[in-house]
Amino acid sequence: MKTMLLQFLCAGLAASSLANIAVVPEKIPCAVADRQEFQHPDRVQLTGWVGSRVTGNEQNRLVKIDTARLLEGYRKRPGRQSWDGEHVGKWLHAATLAWVNTGDAALREKLEFTVTELMKCQLEDGYLGTYLDKDRWGEWDVWAHKYNLLGLITYMRYTGNMDPMPTCRRMADLLCRTFGDQPGQRDIIKAGHHVGMAPTSVLEPMVWLHRLTGEARYLDFSKYLLRSWEQPNGPHIISTLLSARRVDKVGNGKAYEMLSCLNGALEYYRTVGGDRQILDACLNAWQDIVDKRLYVTGAASYREHFHDDFDLPNVANVGETCVTTTWIQFNAHLLRLTGEARFAEQLERVTLNQLFGAQSPDCAAWGYYVQMEGKKPYSTSLDGHCCLSSGPRGVALIPTFLASTDADGVVVNLYDAGTAKLTLRDGSAVSLAMETRYPNDGKVQIAVTPAQSKEFSLKLRIPAWSRESSVRVNGERVNATRGADGYAAIKRTWKTGDRVEAEFTMEPRLIVGDHSNAGKVALAYGPLVLAADESMLGEQIKNLGGLVIATTNLAALNITRESATDVRAFRVKTQMRKTGAAAEVRLVSFADAGGSGSRYKVWLPLPRQTGGNELLDGTESRSRAGNLSGSIIDDDNESVVVTFDSTAAKEDWFAVTLDAPASLRRVVFRHGKSFHNGGWFDASAGKPKVQIKRDANASWETIGELADYPATTATTSGKLKPGQSFTVKLNEPMSAVAVRVVGKPASGDNAQQAFASCAELQAFSE
Ligand SMILES: [Zn+2]
């Protein structure tokens, strides 16, 4: 990569806020030329919706971080938990990028302090992890060295302060000495989790360090890491992706670590070139994920792993934010290497939906798993939360790929209001000023200002979801069809004052569910996936269970933007689930849904067939609130509730109350999950009972018991299986306004407490 003095021209920033940044050059050039350059983050200044998330990430998360917490596990080993060491390097990476973007002096000061203090924690032999000597190299300390290298190298290259170089060299040299396939060296596959994918993902910063220092030994070590993948005990990453072409067959399928390895592999390929096997393996991985293992919001895993084809439950620890960020990096790497718009298309999908959905609306907190329904688990605590330091990295990367340059000119990948100060490959400057309310509407105006009149191409990504697109230059319509690389290229002699107006059809879309979402639909608007948010459904339908989408006829739903303001909310004409009466509901973008702590849902059912669950539009309650955010009226066995509160209880119950009486013939209770310390009913104290209320003022009346419930005790769950269902059939229909199942909770291996769990409570009229 060429080094250039960043000319510092960003409108709206005080000149004093940023010094001129000279990016430290690398000694080894890349063998494979980039098709698109990544931009230094100060080049792209965003002021639209995306910009508000980028700025908020810097101001409300990164600059507010408690540096003592980041350094704690290094200052006093061991760290409070096994991967505590990763946070500081992840923060250094994100905070450096954010500082380059904003020039915030307070953030720079925090960077200087943290880097200086982290360097002091390095041990004599180069070790910079959070383990005691006796516990080294078994779990997550190669992993922490990886993040320290990524963070410190990013810091050095952008600040020009090379003080951490000896620290980085000593870290890398320690790894090179310790691990290898020579006599006396350790096997790195055994130095961490997930079939060695965690420790060997140190590949990416090893390649960076090789290019920055010119030292051959870091490249040799990188080659060893690639060899280790194909050892008998290794994860067989490249060979499996070339043969089986399935990510779920690689190693143990762990998504975050695997994608981290693939990002390193792409940096290696970019650096040394040679045969295309690595690139082909990564392209196979990308195609497999996009075709069979990607959620509609761009989330790419559940329970942190890749699973079987189309096995994408809506609730099952879906969408780890570490995976979201690493998927963004993977797409950005492939975009840089290939220059193909399909990777930018995925960047838009995952950024505007899953990434912003994981970031709290005030940008201060992050969610770990951000599922297709439930509640957003926003947190600000790093304790045990890998994702809390991954999300900010994803957001800080946005200015590096939103607009770009290639051999033909300039490229716009994602749309937001703001400016891009770009440098063409011949060194001439071109600035873009973008005005748009995207994604509130599909109009984008771009003022193109070259330093002098010049012929080049302006490439626009024509979104795949846009049915029609038009592009005008200075008022005259130009050809907007996609070229081989997927972009619409406008080649002309550009001069100051030229103005491009693009318009993409920003309209509602209906996505019909398949596989486990058969019978459901998701709604989208342009790039935004929509969701129902229980706190803002509207007047007629009060809870998520009562919401159906009336039809797959999109026109009949009459989806309209709620107002001219920048609220990404929409009105949808649908019907009441039970009566079929016309009703109107509000939906919001997935990013905004659940922002106030309320429940939300992406996949919405079509109207029920006969024999539907009468309780779906009821109000659920339980004897004790518990600590899970599931639901017992969402027709989803994976979303479980518990009554756990660390105390004992003689009785626990799960109930659903209806607004109007329903006629019931059958009640179904689905067990949640059994945990080591309880979660089931203790049937030795009597089988769980089904009770109803005949009207709102009546008392509970027992109508039956779960006769098939296995012979459990307080300490053993017997033959009980997760999600197992138990049915009570009534001889005559009974009219009820409330139903509950009640029993004695179990304590498992901890007699100080007890709790029960439930996946679903259902009642049917026939
Ligand atoms: Zn995570």
Q: How far is the CA of 323 from the centre of ligand 1 (A)?
A: 7
Q: How far is the CA of 368 from the centre of ligand 1 (A)?
A: 6
Q: How far is the CA of 314 from the centre of ligand 1 (A)?
A: 18
Answer positive or negative: Cα dihedral of 231, 237, 243, 248: positive
Q: How far is the CA of 320 from the centre of ligand 1 (A)?
A: 5
Share the mean pLDDT of the chain. 93
Q: How far is the CA of 64 from the centre of ligand 1 (A)?
A: 20
Q: How far is the CA of 120 from the centre of ligand 1 (A)?
A: 27
Q: How far is the CA of 256 from the centre of ligand 1 (A)?
A: 8
- Is the confidence at residue 3, as pLDDT, over 70? no
* Helical segments of 402-445, H only: none
Q: How far is the CA of 317 from the centre of ligand 1 (A)?
A: 11
Q: How far is the CA of 305 from the centre of ligand 1 (A)?
A: 12
Closest by CA to 395, choosing from 371, 360, 423, is 360
Q: How far is the CA of 316 from the centre of ligand 1 (A)?
A: 15
Q: How far is the CA of 240 from the centre of ligand 1 (A)?
A: 25
Q: How far is the CA of 367 from the centre of ligand 1 (A)?
A: 9
Secondary structure element (H or E) that encloses residue 258, with its range: helix 255-272
| Spatial distance between the Cα atoms of 289 and 301, rounded to a whole number of angstroms | 9
Q: How far is the CA of 384 from the centre of ligand 1 (A)?
A: 9
CA-to-CA dists, residue 531 to 227, 262, 520, 537, 760, angstroms: 45, 32, 13, 10, 22
- Is the confidence at residue 353, as pLDDT, over 80? yes
| Spatial distance between the Cα atoms of 185 and 220, rounded to a whole number of angstroms | 15
489, 457 contact by CB (below 8 A): yes
Q: How far is the CA of 622 from the centre of ligand 1 (A)?
A: 30
Q: How far is the CA of 199 from the centre of ligand 1 (A)?
A: 16
Residue 231 has a pLDDT of: 97
Q: How far is the CA of 378 from the centre of ligand 1 (A)?
A: 13
CA-to-CA dists, residue 487 to 339, 348, 413, 461, 463, angstroms: 9, 14, 9, 5, 9
258, 248 contact by CB (below 8 A): no
Q: How far is the CA of 306 from the centre of ligand 1 (A)?
A: 14
Average pLDDT over residues 218-229: 98
Residues 424-441 pLDDT 10s: 999 999 999 999 999 988
The DSSP result for 111-178, as a single string, is HHHHHHHHHHT--TTS--SSS-GGGTTSSSHHHHHHHHHHHHHHHHHHH---TTHHHHHHHHHHHHHH
CA-to-CA dists, residue 275 to 31, 199, 269, 281, 463, angstroms: 12, 25, 9, 11, 32
89, 455 contact by CB (below 8 A): no
Half-sphere exposure of 572 (CA within 13 A, CB side): 33
Closest by CA to 630, choosing from 681, 682, 670, 590, is 670
Q: How far is the CA of 312 from the centre of ligand 1 (A)?
A: 18
Q: How far is the CA of 627 from the centre of ligand 1 (A)?
A: 20
β-strand partners of 657: 619, 738
Closest by CA to 223, choosing from 190, 282, 272, 263, is 272
Name the least confident of 9-23, 590-604, 701-715: 9-23
Q: How many CB atoms lie within 10 A of CB 711?
A: 11
Q: How far is the CA of 249 from the centre of ligand 1 (A)?
A: 21
Q: How far is the CA of 37 from the centre of ligand 1 (A)?
A: 28
pLDDT above 70 coverage of the chain, percent: 96
Residue 45: pLDDT band with limits 50, 70, 90: very high
Q: How far is the CA of 104 from the centre of ligand 1 (A)?
A: 27
Give the single-character DSSP code of 193. S
Of residues 97 and 315, more confidently modeled: 97
CA-to-CA dists, residue 434 to 7, 378, 409, 459, angstroms: 19, 32, 17, 14
746, 679 contact by CB (below 8 A): yes
- CB-based contacts of 351: which residues, under 8 Å, 6+ apart? 50, 298, 328, 394, 398, 414
CA geometry: angle at 19 spanning 17 and 20, to 5°? 140
| Spatial distance between the Cα atoms of 665 and 704, rounded to a whole number of angstroms | 12
Q: How far is the CA of 135 from the centre of ligand 1 (A)?
A: 23
Q: How far is the CA of 388 from the centre of ligand 1 (A)?
A: 7
Q: How far is the CA of 377 from the centre of ligand 1 (A)?
A: 13
Q: How far is the CA of 221 from the centre of ligand 1 (A)?
A: 27
Q: How far is the CA of 191 from the centre of ligand 1 (A)?
A: 20
Residue 20: pLDDT band with limits 50, 70, 90: low
Q: How far is the CA of 385 from the centre of ligand 1 (A)?
A: 6
| Spatial distance between the Cα atoms of 467 and 349, rounded to a whole number of angstroms | 16
Of residues 124 and 732, more confidently modeled: 124
Q: How far is the CA of 520 from the centre of ligand 1 (A)?
A: 29
SS (HEC) of 706-766:
CCCCCCCCCCCCCCCCCCCEEEEEEEEEEEEEEEEEEECEECCCCCCCCEEEEEEEEEECC
- CB-based contacts of 427: which residues, under 8 Å, 6+ apart? 4
Q: How far is the CA of 387 from the centre of ligand 1 (A)?
A: 4
Give the single-character DSSP code of 460. E
Q: How far is the CA of 228 from the centre of ligand 1 (A)?
A: 25
| Spatial distance between the Cα atoms of 470 and 467, rounded to a whole number of angstroms | 10
Residues 68-108 pLDDT 10s: 999 999 999 999 999 999 999 999 999 999 999 999 999 99
Q: How far is the CA of 108 from the centre of ligand 1 (A)?
A: 26
Strands 443-450 and 498-504: antiparallel
Q: How far is the CA of 193 from the centre of ligand 1 (A)?
A: 14
Residue 594 has a pLDDT of: 95
Q: How far is the CA of 322 from the centre of ligand 1 (A)?
A: 4
Q: How far is the CA of 717 from the centre of ligand 1 (A)?
A: 31
Residue 548 has a pLDDT of: 86
- Is the confidence at residue 516, as pLDDT, over 70? yes
Answer positive or negative: Cα dihedral of 262, 267, 268, 269: positive
Q: How far is the CA of 765 from the centre of ligand 1 (A)?
A: 44
Residue 565: pLDDT band with limits 50, 70, 90: low
Q: How far is the CA of 328 from the centre of ligand 1 (A)?
A: 14
Helix/strand/coil for 3? coil
| Spatial distance between the Cα atoms of 432 and 417, rounded to a whole number of angstroms | 10
411, 405 contact by CB (below 8 A): yes
Q: How far is the CA of 248 from the centre of ligand 1 (A)?
A: 18
Name the least confident of 143-147, 249-253, 421-425, 655-659: 655-659
Q: How far is the CA of 612 from the centre of ligand 1 (A)?
A: 38
| Spatial distance between the Cα atoms of 30 and 737, rounded to a whole number of angstroms | 70
- Is the confidence at residue 13, as pLDDT, over 50? no
Answer positive or negative: Cα dihedral of 544, 546, 550, 555: negative
Burial class (CB in 10 A: 0-12, 13-18, 19+), 683: buried
Q: How far is the CA of 304 from the centre of ligand 1 (A)?
A: 8
Range picked from 322-326, 639-643, 729-733 for highest mean pLDDT: 322-326
Q: How far is the CA of 138 from the centre of ligand 1 (A)?
A: 20
Q: How far is the CA of 434 from the centre of ligand 1 (A)?
A: 34
